Amino acid sequence: PQDVSVAGFDGIDLPWLGADVLTTVVQPLTEKGEAVGHLVEDLLAGAEPDHRELPVSLRVGTTTGPVPA
């Protein structure tokens, strides 16, 4: 983090760094899959799919830091 900050997505970890080291955005994957299934059902039934938003969170690890002054 002194020179370059690195962030991931999908709540992944880098096995060689250990758990909770990589700063990453965590998505609710089970809920995301269920929502897609319901949207596909709506489309197949001829209905207009509704807009859905799912919560995400930022898990801050040690791979990011403040911008140097």
Please report the pLDDT score of residue 11 as a whole number.
78
* Cβ atoms of 2 and 59 closer than 8 Å: no
Please report the pLDDT score of residue 1 as a whole number.
67
**pTM of the predicted structure, to 2 decimals:** 0.66
- For residue 32, the surrounding DSSP H or E stretch is helix 29-44
* Cβ atoms of 48 and 65 closer than 8 Å: no
How many Cα atoms are found within 13 Å in the side-chain-facing hemisphere of 51?
0
| Integer Cα distance of 19 and 8 in angstroms | 13
User: Taking residues 45-69, what's their average pLDDT?
Assistant: 90
Q: How does pLDDT run across 6-55, given as a tens digit for each residue?
A: 888 887 777 777 666 889 999 999 999 999 999 999 999 999 888 889 99
